[in-house]
Amino acid sequence: MYTTPRKPGRTKLVVGVAVLALLVGGGAGALGGYLTASSGAGSYNSVFAPPAANASNVTPGSVTDVANKVLPTVVEIKTQEGEGSGFIVSSDGQIITNNHVIASAAGGGQIEVDFQNGKTATAKIIGRDPTTDVAVIKAQNVSGLPTAQLGTSNGLQIGSQVVAIGSPFDLAGTVTTGIVSSLHRPVNVGDELNQGQGQGQGQGQGGGGFGGGGGFPGFGGGQQQQQQTPQVRQDTVLDAIQTDAAINPGNSGGPLVNMQGQVIGMNSAISSPNSSAQSQGGSVGIGFAIPIDQAKRTAQQIMQTGKATQAQLGVSVTDPTNGQGGAVIGDVTGGGAAEKAGLKKNDVVTKINDRVITDSDSLVAAVHAAAPGETITITLSGGNTLKATLTGKTIDVQN
């Protein structure tokens, strides 16, 4: 993974704009032209009938077999700002996608959904969570849709073959294949909540990256500002699956599936050395997907209540200044999970459960991967261990 060298002591932390690109394709006005050209928008009331595949010529467990199973459940999503992908999880039109795919339509903007059979429908936002980059939308006036089979990311192994499906560069229904290259890869994709509230509003609140934040449109470092004093950014840090399957702008929100056709991740970002906040990069074989177990937990909360609740440790963190690994505890929220566990300012966390903590991002990602109410074991640099029961924070954003 390409990384920008860290500056010692920087508080919660920014990825360089030349490193990470979120995968929304197109640009402003993409939806307007599409609505003008499409006569079927918003009028999809018939039962979905996916094209029949010639099963006699398809080897079970092949990429072709997987594509035949999954393609009918994958949609292209268009807003005024660009396009992405999503996958259908209920026959009446509930669709899981990335928050950054549809965030520009929050507050009443238009969303268009393209189905694989050429039909279209309008959609509304059911709920979204910038802190995990997960959103649920619902296509209107639809029925009988095929649904994706959700698998599990638990037990996923490096080297496992996977297939990515989505709409890169507005090419709907594109299928690529590769392997799982790495697991639990911390990927910092920026800060949406503070962009809307002013930089630094989360300073000292504790758990900035553990219950607030999000990221988008600026590809991580696109929102970096030089400031007189360090500010605690409430960044979204994905606990990502890394894959070499080719994914590109427009793939965001699409499924990463195993060879049984089960969704094991949601494609979200790529490492692209030639991208910037104003331009789109392309695949260099380093793509990142949100593990489906995390995406599914958030999506289920949204479907039930319209909002998500995420685990919170109640600290701010920085990277060590001595070149050693771990995450340095900054402010500790009074009454929070960290304080109750006995964590103190300047403690250095080296492990969460059995997971090695290499820097502040990896600590944020580890907490994001956990559920509210879960008890974690925290190992400090001296070898002492603490138990912390994570609290929950409801993410309140405009839908």
Q: Which of 85, 153, 252, 316 is catalytic?
A: 252
Scanning the chain, the segments in alpha helix (DSSP H) are: 30-37, 63-70, 99-102, 193-197, 208-211, 292-305, 337-341, 360-368
Strand pairing category for 255-257 and 262-271? antiparallel
188 in Cβ contact with 237 (< 8 Å): yes
81: which 2 tokens? 């700002």
Within 10 Å of residue 354's Cβ, how many Cβ atoms?
A: 7
Cα 165 to Cα 47, 70, 182, 253: the distances in Å are 23, 8, 19, 10
Within 10 Å of residue 197's Cβ, how many Cβ atoms?
A: 13
Question: Is residue 100 annotated as part of the catalytic site, yes or no?
Answer: yes
Q: Which of 65, 114, 129, 133 is catalytic?
A: 133
188: which 2 tokens? 């910092």
Strand pairing category for 149-150 and 262-271? parallel
Q: Which of 65, 85, 100, 361 is catalytic?
A: 100
265 in Cβ contact with 290 (< 8 Å): yes
Largest CA distance in the chain: 67
Question: Is residue 368 annotated as part of the catalytic site, yes or no?
Answer: no
CA–CA distance, 336 with 248 (Å, rounded to integer): 40
Instruction: Give the three-class secondary structure for 293.
Output: helix
Question: Is residue 133 annotated as part of the catalytic site, yes or no?
Answer: yes
Which among 143, 148, 163, 137 has a CA at the least distance from the CA of 88? 148
171 in Cβ contact with 252 (< 8 Å): no
Which residues have a catalytic role annotated? 100, 133, 252
